Amino acid sequence: MNKVDESIMTKANIWLNGAYDEETKSEIKRMIDTDPQELIESFYRDLEFGTGGLRGIMGVGSNRMNKYTVGAATQGFANYLKANFTGLKMVKVAIAYDSRNNSKYFAQVTADVFSANGIKVYLFDDLRPTPELSFAIRHFECQGGIVITASHNPKEYNGYKAYWDDGGQLISPHDKNVIKEVQKITDISDVKFESNSQLIEIIGKEVDQLYLEHIKSLSLSPEAIRRQKDLKIVYTPIHGTGAKLVPMALKAFGFENVFTVEEQMISDGNFPTVISPNPEESAALEMALKLADQLHADLVMATDPDADRVGIAIRKEGKMVLLNGNQAATLLIYYLLEKWRENGLLTGKEYIVKTIVTSEILIDIANKYQVEHFDVLTGFKYIADIIKDLEGVKTFIGGGEESYGYLVGDFVRDKDAVSSCAMIAEVAAWAADKGVGLFDLLKSIYMEFGFYKEDLISVVRKGKAGAEEIQHMMDDFRNQPPQRFNGSKLVLVKDHLSGIEKNLETGYEKKINLPASNVLQFFTEDGSKISVRPSGTEPKIKFYFGVKAPLAKEDEFEQVNDFLEKRIEGIKKDLGI
C-alpha cells in the first residue's frame, strides 16, 4: 500500500472538517480507505493559478479542478479587479465555456462568486468559442473575463483562462498580481459562493450576431466568393464550440457548399470519436478527411474544443494533405497583404505580428509589401499586447503562431478559429478564381520568397528528475552551443532569458526588446533557425526547426522538400535528439 505523507493527510483532513459539501467529503473518505494513491495525487499540492489561469484534472482535492479551486481562483481575481478599478461604479466581467464535462457548472460557480462580490456578470447561455468571449469583454466594456476550457487537453481535464479589459489574456504585471491574490485565499470560508442573481445577465444570440457581423466585415474578396460559392468545404468542430458559429460564418461569407462531420457536430466532453481533440494531430482530422475524399472536397478545416485554433487540409495532386501551422499562416498573411495592396488599403501604417518560433517567411512577405512586422514571445497574449499598445496609431492586419492560432482584424484579442475558417475559405476561393488550388498558391509563394520548411520535436522528461534534466539541457545549450548545425556555421544567438542577441562573426551584441523568457534561438549561415524552449505547461522541452532553400521551378518542389528534410534531420542529429 502507498504510504500517505503526513502533510497530505493534514490537507485532506482540512477538507474533511471544513465547509465543503458532503459529496466531496464522502469522496475524500473513499480515497483514504481504498485509494491512497489517488489521495496523494489529489492533495500533494495546490492546483496552481498560473499566468494563464488554471488547468488540471477534474476531481476532488486541492490539486484538482472542482467547485472549490475554481471558487478560490475567482475570489482572488474578483479581489484584484475591485482593487484595480476603484473609480468605477460597477466592475463588469464576461464568462463563456466550452463543451468539456463540467464546463457549464464551473462557469456558473464563477458567475456566482463574481456576483457575490458585487461584480456584474455577462454569462453566455450556452457554450461559445473562446474568441467570442474576448469579443464580449470589449463589447460590454468589461474589466475582465473568464472562459472555462482546457483547450485540446484530454477529456479528464478542464481549465480556467483569465482575461483583462482589452479582451486579451492576462499579462505582466496583472498575471503575477492576480496569482498573489489567489494565493491569499487560504480558507474556503474566504470565498463568497452565494450568488446575487440580480447581477448575472444571460447573453447569447445578440452577441453572436454582432460578432458574426464583425467577422463578415473582414472579407476582402466578396466577388471571388460569389463566383466560387460552390467550393466544397468540409468542417468539423471535433465535438466543440465551433459547431454553431463556424458554419454560420462561412454562410455569412457566401459559401453554399459546406459539409460537416455530423458525428463530431455533437457537443460532447468525452470526445468519443477521437483520441485527442487536437487539430495539430492528423488523427483528429481522420473523419473529416474521409468525408472530403468521398465528396471530392477542396478544403478541410477542424477547430479545437474552444474554437481558437484550426487545422487545415488541402488538395495536392488529387490527395488531401495536412498543412502545418506555419504553412497556413503563410497562405493567410500573403493573401491579406496582397489584397490590402490590391484594394488600395495600405497607407504605410499597417503591421502584422508573429511569434518568435513562427516561420521567418512572414517577415519576408511583410517586407515585400512594406508592412511593419513584430516578433513576440510564444503566446497569443503577447500579440494582443502589441495590438493594445498600437491602438489608434497603427492598423493591425493579421497575425499568427505556428501552433495553429491566427487572428485577422482587432475586434478580438485572442486567436480566433471562427474568423480564421472564414478567411482561409476566402483564400481558397480567391485562388480558385485565379484557376489555382491552395497548394499551387503555396508553391508560388515559395518560388517568390524561398521554400521555408519547419518542424517541431518535443522531448518529454517527466517528474523532478526530468525537470532537472531539461534545465541541464538548457544550461548546456546556453553555455556551449554547437558551433555548426548540419555543417552550417552558427552566426547569431538570441538568448531571451538574458535578453541579449549576439552576432558571433562581429562580436556585436544588442538588447532584445522582449520580456525575459527561457528561450534560445540559433541562426546559421545557410538561413536555418533553431529555437529551444521548455514547455510552460507540460514536462517537455521543445525544439523548433526552420530551414530554407530557393525553389526555382514548381516541378522541383519534391526535390527541394527532400533536401530540406535531410537538413532538418542533420540538425537533429547534431543536437542528439
Assign residue 163 the CATH number of its domain.
Answer: 3.40.120.10
544: its cell numbers: 523548433
361: its cell numbers: 517567411
Residues 354 and 481 in one domain: no
Last residue of a domain, one of 432, 449, 466: 449
Annotated catalytic residue within 151, 419, 488, 528 = 151
Residues 164 and 297 in one domain: no
**Domain of 387?**
211-449
Q: Is 151 a catalytic residue?
A: yes
Instruction: Report the b/e string of 28-63 with b at 16+ CB within 10 A.
Output: beebbeeebebbbbbbeeebbbebbbbbbbbbbbbb
Q: Specify the pLDDT at position 49.
A: 83
Rounded Cα distance between 125 and 546, Å, is: 44
525: its cell numbers: 549561415
Residues 236 and 261 in one domain: yes
Residues 282 and 188 in one domain: no
Residues 25 and 68 in one domain: no
SS3 state at 498: coil
Assign residue 465 the CATH number of its domain.
Answer: 3.30.310
pTM of the model as a whole:
0.95
Residues 225 and 272 in one domain: yes
CA 459 to centroid of chain Cα atoms: 20
pLDDT tens digits in sequence order for the chain, 577 residues long = 467 889 999 999 999 999 999 999 999 999 999 999 999 999 998 888 877 789 999 999 999 999 999 999 999 999 999 999 999 999 999 999 999 999 999 999 999 999 999 999 999 999 999 999 999 999 999 999 999 999 988 899 999 999 999 999 999 899 999 999 999 998 999 999 999 999 999 999 999 999 999 999 999 999 999 999 999 999 999 999 999 999 999 999 999 999 999 999 999 999 999 999 999 999 999 999 999 999 999 999 999 999 999 999 999 999 999 999 999 999 999 999 999 999 999 999 999 999 999 999 999 999 999 999 999 999 999 999 999 999 999 999 999 999 999 999 999 999 999 999 999 999 999 999 999 999 999 999 999 999 999 999 999 887 777 888 899 999 999 999 999 999 999 999 999 999 999 999 999 999 999 999 999 999 999 999 999 999 866 678 999 999 999 999 999 999 999 999 999 999 999 998 8
Residues 6+ apart with CB under 8 A from 392: none
Q: Specify the pLDDT at position 467.
A: 81
Last residue of a domain, one of 203, 220, 254: 203
SS3 state at 307: coil
The per-residue DSSP string of 1-65 comes to -PPPPHHHHHHHHHHHHSS--HHHHHHHHHHHHH-HHHHHHHHSSPPP-BTTEEEEEBSSSTTSB
Q: Specify the pLDDT at position 2.
A: 63
Q: Specify the pLDDT at position 252.
A: 98
The per-residue DSSP string of 170-188 comes to P-TTHHHHHHHHHHT--SG
Q: What is the total count of domains within the chain?
A: 4
Residues 126 and 268 in one domain: no
Closest to 350 (Cα-Cα) out of 358, 361, 338? 338
- What's the CA dihedral at 271, 274, 278, 283 to 10 degrees? -170
Residues 374 and 493 in one domain: no
Beta strand 319-322 with 310-316: parallel, antiparallel or unpaired?
Answer: antiparallel
Residues 130 and 264 in one domain: no
Residues 486 and 434 in one domain: no
Residues 509 and 471 in one domain: yes
246: its cell numbers: 463556424
Last residue of a domain, one of 171, 203, 235: 203
Rounded Cα distance between 151 and 572, Å, is: 29
Closest to 526 (Cα-Cα) out of 495, 572, 487? 487
**What single DSSP character describes residue 131?**
H
Q: In what order do the strands lie in the sheet with 53-57?
A: 53-57, 157-164, 144-148, 92-97, 120-124, 200-203
Residues 416 and 309 in one domain: yes
